[in-house]
Amino acid sequence: MATILIVEARFYDHLNDLLLAGARAAIEAAGHSHETITVPGALEVPGAIALAAESFDAFVALGVVIRGETYHFEIVAGESARGIMALTMDGLAIGNGILTTENEAQALTRARPDEKDKGGEAAKAAIAMLDLQTRFG
């Protein structure tokens, strides 16, 4: 049984609740345990994972970034993904469930466990990467 850390950028509470529900259900269905921590935003997710790297077997990154009127969306979406990818290239098992959408309706569809279930998919990706890490590590 692995211990998985869910790191959530909690900005949109109602959307994060849906992502968390999907991630937790997938982790528990696979027989693993989990803890959850909250960071201020998507840019802080990779840093939190890096700080916890020695304490957990795998990680699930959750959050929602919705396009606004400024270039900030591109910075947050791109740099959070880049940071997570860098950590995976360093050998951490991470599932990226940070949604980057044009509007809240798209985010709701992706976050709901009974629709696209991106929280659950991110948890399953983390578990799949952990399995590969165990196989090749």
Is 32 considered catalytic here? no
Number of CB atoms found within 10 A of residue 79's CB = 13
Whether 86 has a binding-site annotation, put simply, is no
Q: Which of 14, 32, 34, 72 is catalytic?
A: 72
Whether 56 has a binding-site annotation, put simply, is no
Contact 98, 65 (CB under 8 A): yes
Whether 65 has a binding-site annotation, put simply, is yes
Q: For residue 72, what are the contacts with CB-CB under 8 A and spacing of at least 6? A: none
Whether 18 has a binding-site annotation, put simply, is no
Q: For residue 121, what are the contacts with CB-CB under 8 A and spacing of at least 6? A: 22, 26, 95, 97
Whether 44 has a binding-site annotation, put simply, is yes
Active site residues: 72
Annotated binding-site ranges for 5-amino-6-(D-ribitylamino)uracil: 11, 42-44, 64-66, 96
Annotated binding-site ranges: 11, 42-44, 64-66, 69-70, 96, 110
